[in-house]
Structure 1
C-alpha cells in the first residue's frame, strides 16, 4: 500500500469505533458551545416563555442562532410570520453546509440523510468538513457524522437545561461575559474553512454587507448580510463545480 493511498486506519474502523471517534473529535466544540447554551437558557428564563418552551425549542428546533433570535422576537411580541421568516433567513447558511457535505452522504438511505441533516450545525459541519478532507470515501463516515452530531445535540440539551435552572436563580447570569465564547467558537469554525473560494467569498460578502448595512433597524442589515453571503457562496460553489466539470471533459 502506498503512502498516498486513500485507505487508512480511519477507513477500517468499525461503526461503533467511528461513532466514538466523531464524538471525541467534537469535544472542543462541546466546550465552546456550553456558554452559548447557558445564555440561551437564561434568556428564556427571563422572557415571557415558560422554561419548558426553551427546552422544547432546543429539542425540536436545535439551531442556536435561530433560537436566540426567536426568543428575542417572542419577548418583543413579534408576529409568527416575522419570526418564521427571520429564522429562515438566518438558517439559510445550512444550505451551504448541506451542499458541501452532500457528495459524502448522497449514497445513504433517506432515513440517514434526514437524521444527519437534522443534526447538522455549525460545529458539526466544521468537524465533518475536516474529516472528509482527511479521509476519502470512508465506509463508516456516516457513523462518525452521527457521533459528532449526537454529541453536539446532547451537549446543547444539557446546557440549555443548566441555563434554564440557573437563569431562574441568577437572572443576570447572561451579563457575565459568557457571550465572548460564542465569538471565539465561531471564529474557530470559520477561519479553517476560508481556504476555499466559495467559503472565503461568502464570508467576505457577509462581513462587508453586515458592516455597510449595520444602521438598518430590526437587525435587517445582519439578515441581509446573511442572505447575501449564502447567495454568493452558492453561486461560487456552482461556478467551481462547473469549472471542474469542464476541465474533466476537456481532459
Structure 2
C-alpha cells in the first residue's frame, strides 16, 4: 500500500511538471521545426539531424553547429568549444539547484542535467520557491521539453523546405515572449529584480561596445553575482 502511494505521488508530480511546462513549449516548437529544416540544408542527413536533437539536446548550440557545418567547418574541437561557450549558462543554472539534485543518485543527477533547458529550469525553480523540490516534478518538466524538441525536429525534417523558413512568418517573436513569461514571476522580489536589471543594462551596453556575443556571458555572470549577493543578505537577515 505504501509503495502504491509513493508511485501515485510520483506520477502526480511528474504529470504536473509536464503540465506546467507545456505552455512554454509553444515558443520552443517553431525553433525545433526550423532546426530540422535548416540542418538538412546544411548537409546533414535526417538521421544525423534527429541524432543531434536526441543526443545533444541544446537548441542554441545546435543552431551554431549547423551554421559552422554549413560554412564548411568540420573540426570537432571547434564544434565542441562552440557548444561549451554557448552552454556556459548551464553551469550557473545547475549550481542554483545543485543543493537539491546532489541528494539524488548519480545516474539521476546526470540525466536531469542532460534534460535541463532554459524553460524547464525556470519552471523547476519556480516550483521550488513555492512547494520545495520534487525530483518527479523536474523529471516531468524535462520530459516535456525533450519530447517537444524531438517532435518538432522530426516534423522539420519531414516537411523539409516545403514550408520555407517558419521564422519568416513572424514566429521569431514567440521565443522572446516565452522568456519574458519565464522572467516575470521572478521579479516579485528584490534579488530577482536586481539581477534582471543588471543583466539588461550590461546586455544593452555590451552589445554596443563589446565585440561578438561575449556580453551575454558577462551579463549572465554579473546578474547571477548581484542576485546571489542579495539573496545571501536576505537569508542572513
Q: TM-score, normalised by structure 2?
A: 0.84
| 1:239 maps to which of 218, 222, 229 | 229
Contact kept in structure 2, 1:210 and 1:224, CA below 8 Å: no
Q: Structure 1 CA distance, aligned partners of 2:157 and 2:30?
A: 12
Cα deviation, 1:28-77, whole Å, max 9, x if unaligned, reads: 02222111211111211222222222211111111111111222122122
Corresponding residue for 1:89? 85
More displaced, 80-89 or 224-233?
80-89
Aligned pairs for 1:192-231 (under 5 A) are 192-196=185-189, 199-214=192-207, 220-221=211-212, 223-231=213-221
Q: CA RMSD in A?
A: 2.7
Query: Which residue matches 2:21?
Result: 26
SS at 1:179's partner residue? helix
Q: Which residue of 1 aligns with 2:103?
A: 107
1:169 aligns with 2:162: yes
1:97-125 C-alpha deviation (Å, 9 max, x unpaired)? 21222222231111111111111111101
Q: Which runs of 5+ in 2 are unaligned?
A: 1-5
**How far apart are residue 166 of structure 1 and its match?**
1.3
Residue 128 of structure 1 and its aligned partner are, at CA, apart by 0.7
Considering fraction of residues, name the structure with more helix. Answer: 2
Equivalent positions of 1:9-24 (< 5 A) are 14-24=9-19
Q: Which residue of 2 aligns with 1:191?
A: 184
Return the alpha-carbon distance in structure 2 between the equivalents of residues 91 and 195 of structure 1: 27
Task: Find 1:152's aligned residue among 142, 145, 155.
Answer: 145
